[in-house]
């Protein structure tokens, strides 16, 4: 891979082309995205997201300004609003208007002005510096072409004392389970994607992109390089996913 290239799943593509291809994936699956998550993870993604929001523990009794990047159809935002108090406000930011549209429809008027939706790139947030108490990104960073730029932007928009949390697919490190996981990923998920969304390729991208994402210790170093302190990570479900945490101090 040259400086000008990056990966889109197992393919090498020019850095400037990856985002368009990622956008096409999520445009294609937006309307069935939530259903597919339930089917292919057998509901496990709900437990992971629950654990993620429990790790964040939004306060019940004071103002809390939260940014959920690559927030898609709003799953993480809704959970944070339900766990937090009346002064918790969440901005859902995503580069894909179709994913946000599904999110806004799902939210309806349940949360009033405690939620807003912003169409923008994680690499260049149209947001003021030192504004947010916390930043989350769930199953999003793997899709961003310039991960280092997105991490620097996360650091910039957080207030001093603010927390960065990332939930992302990781590396299964338990013998035998890794084999079963690979067989399931490559044989079942794209076929399921074809049946449910009519698009096997997008789910082939999903399973390939997971394999190309840095292992958890390397990703932790990238978070530190963006300026975060006290960076830690915790694998869930034998390492199928991991939660990374860092602080702007």
Ligand X SMILES: C[S@@+](CC[C@H](N)C(=O)[O-])C[C@H]1O[C@@H](n2cnc3c(N)ncnc32)[C@H](O)[C@@H]1O
Name the residue nearer to ligand X (CB basis): 6 or 121: 121
Considering the complex, state which of residue 31 and residue 87 has its C-beta at the smaller distance from ligand X. Answer: 31
User: Which range of residues in 3-11, 19-27, 186-194, 207-215 is near ligand X by CB under 6 A?
Assistant: 19-27
CA distances to 57, 79, 83, 228 from 61, rounded to whole Å, are 12, 17, 11, 27
Question: Alpha-carbon distance 30 to 16, whole Å?
Answer: 23
Closest to 67 in 3D by CA, of 164, 185, 177: 164
Shortest Cβ distance from residue 137 to ligand X (Å)? 7
Give the single-character DSSP code of 186.
Answer: I
Give the pair of three-digit tokens for residue 161: 């004392």
Nearer to ligand X, 147 or 220 (CB): 147
Q: How far is residue 230's CA from residue 3's CA, in Å, rounded to a whole number?
A: 30
| Total chain residues near ligand X (CB under 6 A) | 21
CA–CA distance, 178 with 87 (Å, rounded to integer):
43
Interface residue with ligand X, options 80, 144, 147, 210 (CB under 6 A): 144
Residue of 138, 220, 223, 241 interacting with ligand X (CB under 6 A): 138
The contact pattern for ligand X, residues 90-129, with x = CB under 6 A and - = no contact, is ----xxx--x---------------------xxx------
Binder of ligand X out of 9, 58, 71, 193 (CB under 6 A):
71
Classify burial at 24, counting beta carbons within 10 Å of its beta carbon; exposed 0-12, middle 13-18, buried 19 or more: middle
Q: Are 164 and 155 in contact (CB under 8 A)?
A: yes
Query: Which position among 6, 143, 204, 245 is part of the footprint of ligand X (CB under 6 A)?
Result: 143
- Interface contacts to ligand X, rule CB under 6 A: 19, 22, 26, 69-72, 75-76, 94-96, 99, 121-123, 138-140, 143-144
């Amino acid at each position: 891979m040259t400086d000008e290239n990056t990966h889109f799943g197992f393919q090498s593509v020019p850095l400037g082309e990856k985002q368009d291809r990622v956008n096409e994936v999520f445009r294609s699956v937006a309307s069935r995205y939530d259903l597919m998550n339930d089917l292919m993870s057998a509901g496990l993604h709900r437990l992971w997201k629950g654990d993620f929001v429990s790790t964040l523990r939004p306060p019940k009794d004071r103002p809390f300004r939260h940014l959920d990047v690559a927030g898609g159809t709003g799953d993480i935002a809704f959970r944070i609003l339900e766990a937090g108090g009346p002064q918790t406000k969440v901005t859902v930011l995503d580069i894909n208007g179709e994913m946000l549209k599904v999110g806004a429809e799902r939210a309806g008027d349940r949360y009033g002005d405690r939620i807003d939706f912003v169409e923008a790139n994680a690499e260049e947030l149209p947001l003021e510096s030192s504004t947010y108490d916390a930043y989350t990104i769930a199953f999003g960073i793997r899709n961003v072409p310039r991960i280092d730029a997105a991490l620097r932007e996360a650091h910039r928009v957080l207030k001093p004392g603010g927390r960065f949390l990332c939930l992302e697919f990781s590396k299964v490190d338990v013998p035998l389970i890794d084999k079963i996981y690979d067989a399931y990923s490559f044989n079942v998920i794209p076929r399921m994607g074809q049946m449910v969304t009519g698009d096997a390729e997008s789910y082939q991208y999903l399973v390939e992109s997971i394999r190309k994402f840095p292992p958890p210790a390397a990703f932790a170093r990238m978070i530190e390089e963006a300026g975060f302190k006290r960076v830690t990570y915790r694998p869930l479900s034998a390492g199928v996913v991991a939660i990374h945490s860092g602080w702007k101090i």
